[in-house]
Structure 1
């Protein structure tokens, strides 16, 4: 076994502190698979990587800008934290991990004191905000993380109406939410679970509010990416094969319980089972 480990190929993973989806350990990236958290993303990695015995795994604290820079230099990194975009396809291979879950729906995040300024005119009948209308408001100051993508529909809106972007490194959510809480801007975009975790850590559970947006419903499949290098191609194919093996596991209920515990919504479970059934029958999905 030690001989196998000694000659195992190493996959180097991008690590960013975005709890509860992916969490650092005492302020640093995980040092091993055993140190991975149990959130949506790192929890899935904990289950998946344990089923890749031919590989070692390292976790590298890296911003999106570094991920791109290293990939374009011919170095190989992989990530479960980056959505697929046409621009990223130029330097990354992509595959899929699992279907959209309720926790992956992007929301507008505002300070509670700003709620009265969000007029009903920005809401369709289902009560969701219209981000397209919100972006037109000169009296509200948005701020987003530089190099972050939010899915095709929101990204298209942001391309039409560019907003200020902040370089935030590998701890993107904490820095932006600190700035929002301090009044340095009026709103940002984030997952509600990330905001809830952040507010619990800073001890102000009611300071920020997550508001659903109509455009946030276009949540993408969870993706995995690797640098577009020969080594990256091998790694993405191995990861894709591991996902399909996981999908074929007859004891699916056990690994889903290990991953999601009691946090899975019934709608999420229905979607997850349909996706895994398809992955179990299908061929590789690498692009």
Structure 2
């Protein structure tokens, strides 16, 4: 009888120890999405969100920080299953709020634009508004203009609404997890347009050393806000809430212009930097 009691206590102790180890492990899910997340080398990499994670790690020493390369779709799946994981850079939407806890705003980004080859601009004239912006709904409903989107990726309000409204999606291709693929497809003429942040296009140009002979144009989307905010997210629940509270506390100590904001500027397309700085000065989420 005594041996049974000792064995039971030992097993209970081991279970508590294992639970504590699990609660102290923080797995960062990293999808290939430069310039926000760079998985091309050791992690955290060279991206904007990587800079944030690099800032957070020494300020959250009680956690064993680990990294897993995972698509956005896999991140959704793991959080739906209740796994104790976090993602360093996601937009907020109702579907995600169902399974995720969100931090205070951490990323300030100029909102999406339509990226088009200059030599094909005439194909889009029917969808241009008087103010020079483009009607995303009418654009995405044109079956003769092909684009590519990433599965489970969130876009701006106007783009999300337009994509949800398309019944026949054969002209809207599902891109793989490799970030550069849609840009290569656009440059090569395999697709006609792309929804992307100015900072995405800026990163792509830097990686290509801006050596391409193809001239691109970025066009604002009608009805969209000037900027969009990004967040750290963790699986919804007590564990995720605790991690996010610690993330928020660390962000407040970063000051009015955290290091990852400058990295955003570094990667933004040069012609968009002035617009970013003016928008950030008016709307910065980091001001006290």
TM-score, L = length of structure 1: 0.75
Alpha-carbon separation, structure 2, partners of 1:151 and 1:210 = 15
Partner of 2:199: 193
Partner of 1:260: 262
Partner of 1:68: 76
Return the offset for 1:67. 0.7
Per-residue CA deviations over 1:132-191 (Å, capped at 9, x if unaligned) read 23123232122211111113332122211254341523x3x3122222233332122111
Return the offset for 1:272. 5.7
Partner of 2:212: 204
Partner of 1:176: 182
Matches within 5 A, 1:33-72: 35-37=44-46, 39-72=47-80
Alpha-carbon separation, structure 1, partners of 2:158 and 2:61 = 38
- The 1:225–1:110 alpha-carbon spacing in structure 2 relative to 1, beyond 3 Å, is same
2:121 is paired with a residue of what secondary structure? helix
Report the number of matched residues: 253
Alpha-carbon separation, structure 1, partners of 2:198 and 2:259 = 22
Alpha-carbon separation, structure 2, partners of 1:244 and 1:194 = 26
Alpha-carbon RMSD: 2.8
Partner of 2:286: 276
Partner of 1:236: 244
Contact 1:111–1:207 (8 Å) recurs in 2: yes
- The 1:219–1:185 alpha-carbon spacing in structure 2 relative to 1, beyond 3 Å, is same
- The 1:141–1:268 alpha-carbon spacing in structure 2 relative to 1, beyond 3 Å, is same
Contact 1:122–1:130 (8 Å) recurs in 2: yes
Alpha-carbon separation, structure 1, partners of 2:279 and 2:66 = 30
Alpha-carbon separation, structure 1, partners of 2:95 and 2:63 = 29
Contact 1:135–1:161 (8 Å) recurs in 2: yes
Partner of 2:158: 153
Partner of 2:9: none
Per-residue CA deviations over 1:35-77 (Å, capped at 9, x if unaligned) read 432x433233333444333333222110011112222222122
Partner of 2:15: none
Per-residue CA deviations over 1:69-117 (Å, capped at 9, x if unaligned) read 2222221221123211111122211122336333xx1011223331222
Does 2:138 align with 1:133? yes
Contact 1:76–1:229 (8 Å) recurs in 2: no
Return the offset for 1:218. 5.8
Alpha-carbon separation, structure 2, partners of 1:131 and 1:156 = 9
